[in-house]
Amino acid sequence: MKKLIIFVLCLSLSIGAKVRADEGMWLLPLLEKFNIEQMQKMGCQLSADDIYAINNSSIKDAIVRFGNGCTGEIISNNGLLITNHHCGYSSIQKLSSVEHDYLKDGFWAMNMSEELPAEGLTVTFVESFTDVTKRVLNYLATAANEKQRERLFNEISKKIESEAEAKDPYVKGKVVNFYNGNIYYLVITKTFKDIRFVGAPPSSIGKFGGDTDNWMWPRHTGDFSMFRVYADRNNNPAEYSDENVPYTPKKFLSISLKGIQENDFAMIIGFPGRTTRFMTSEEAKEAQNISNRISIFTRGIRQDILMEDMNSDPKINIQYADKYTSSSNAWKKWIGMNETFDKLDVVQRRAEEEELFDKWVSENPSRSAKYGNAIGKINGYIKNRAGIMAASRYLTETLDRIELTSIAGYANRKNVSEERMENFYKDYSMPTDRKVASAMIKIYRDSVESRYQPDIMKTIHNEFGGDVEAYLDSLYSNSVFTSMERYNGAKADSALIASDPATAFYNSVREKKREVSNEINKGYDTYSEGKREYLAGILEMNGDKASYPDANSTMRLTYGQVLSYSPRDAVEYDYYTTLDGVMQKEEPGSREFTVPAKLKELWKNKDYGRYAMENGKMPVAFLTNNDITGGNSGSPVLNANGELLGLAFDGNWEAMSGDVIFEPELQRCIAVDIRYVLFIIDKFGGADYLLKEMNLVR
């Protein structure tokens, strides 16, 4: 164990001699050690301290985690924040109504007093990273097995985190593991809860192209929205209050009006959610043939039901807009991932990597002792759990998607939030949910073997003759959870809530999920041990070659270039798109390709102001070869001087396996050009007053 500790610490100081400029989600505290020299060779004009510093303001202080799954950046000294439209979508939806449909019509607060509180939204700043690997691994050294290791890790993590939090009541500490438990960092953050909606274009701009263009290039989407961070009078986090004032940041980003050229240096800082770059062949098979396949099938059916009702009723359209978008985004990604897994032979390439690893291990008795069984532990566990994993995925994607039973489960907990109940019913359509329930119950019944069927299925069979529709007629007629009014009339009677038929359904599914989870966990300790050994072995095998840990929602930096690409023979994609392409894609009256009349007028008159390119055209989106994934949405694309060029919002279809294997020739990040953003704010939205807060540079 001591040798591993020494090796890992040395590795963190030495790797990077062969850094690939276009691949990697790098830890900011280690930029000086193994990135900044290469970045500067590519044109970066900044020092590592300019990007990440603890004692001085740096670019990292302007980058935030927006909500629970996106990135945003501060662009003024008054806490003005910009992120993607699809990142702000949920908050915009919650603030919308049939009378004030901010999704459809857009919204601009013309002064701070008109900004709308975004209930439940948070913004989190990173204060610092501290390497605590030696302390954690020393504490874990006495663990005899994985369960003891987990217990000891929880103990030492809590102690380290408590020590940090005792120094400042406004911060939160979290010990985060990297490389499957081979390296540990203490991450200190500060979270703000008073966030207000400033503005966004209509979805016809912010979501132009919808599902059809999602993950595709060429792209013509003005994917941005704006919020403001508020603090108490001492600039500290506080709950919403009229007494709060705009937050004064340590750092905010300047905005470049110069634009981009191909091969320009570009870097992105954000919070990538999850990658599995060290996935084995069996794990890749499971992802493709079980997780992705089942989710694609079930979500496709559910989404069709939602869309039919959304198209028939404006109220339902608002209620289910965010639910549909959240589901379909991942659904289409999984479709693309499965396609690229086949096209790029991902499983076979992983198997070949395992063969090379095993060969390297077998050449040395010491390595054989440490790593000889690692791949076998991983792949053996994954093979054995195939059936139960399919049942688990079906449970998650079908029976767990019934809203009536989900809210019944929540209502049976202690300390039920009235606010949460009200928010649920605001966005709930009982007839829509009943259609979904019918489809989901039938899918699960027909797709999963009998031993994984919850007892509620026996009720449907025994009491309703297997007639799902008859069962649902009874469920939705007799449950008190079908409306806020019925729930309010019953909530004081805990016995009635507990005996509700929707509660019975929820409890039955929960019990089966517990059984399934327990079965999945059999052998998991061996798998976890194998993953840690495999990663340690890979690090040792790679020696001084560049290496970065999988994404885990911690702040990362990726750097590369503005770059075009060729997706297939005889096809060349340029590195930028223009407003001309928006007009070429227009389909009047369609859900996805409608163009606002005012935007068409601005285009016809070429009324682009100072935001046009040298050729007179209006830029919309551009490409870089930066390494991103989910969670990077809203991340700033920065030039060599650290100035804002645009906002990352998507990847490209041809490299949908990128979470598993990076494809340097194909993988691209799609970003909205900041000049298009400013043009929409100014010329289209008429909110040019916001530009006065910003530092616009050429």
Catalytic residues: 86, 223, 633
Measure the CA–CA gap between 168 and 185, rounded to whole angstroms: 19
Query: Other CB atoms closer than 10 Å to residue 176's CB: what's the count?
Result: 16
The amino acid sitting at 64 is V
For residue 534, what is the DSSP state?
H
Residues 6+ apart with CB under 8 A from 509: 395, 399, 400, 405, 454, 456
Asked whether 316 and 403 are in contact (CB, 8 A), the reply is no
Taking CA atoms, 531 is separated from 171, 179, 286, in Å, by 32, 9, 16
Cβ contact 395:509 at 8 Å: yes
Asked if 657 contacts 296 with a C-beta cutoff of 8 angstroms, the reply is no
> Mapping DSSP to helix (H, G, I), strand (E, B) and coil, where does residue 251 land?
coil
Half-sphere exposure of 492 (CA within 13 A, CB side): 3
How many beta carbons lie within 10 A of that of residue 486, not counting itself? 13
The β-bridge partners of 171 are: 190
Q: How far apart are the first and last CA of the chain?
A: 54
DSSP lists the bridge partners of residue 623 as: 670
Residues 6+ apart with CB under 8 A from 476: 404, 430, 434, 482
Q: Residues 260, 673: contact at Cβ < 8 Å? A: yes
Amino acid at 15: I
* Helix, strand or coil, per DSSP, at residue 194: strand
Q: What are all long-range contacts of 136-139, with beta carbons under 8 Å and residues at least 24 apart? A: 136/160, 136/175, 136/184, 137/1, 137/4, 137/5, 137/8, 137/184, 138/5
Residue 1, number of CB atoms within 10 A of its CB: 11
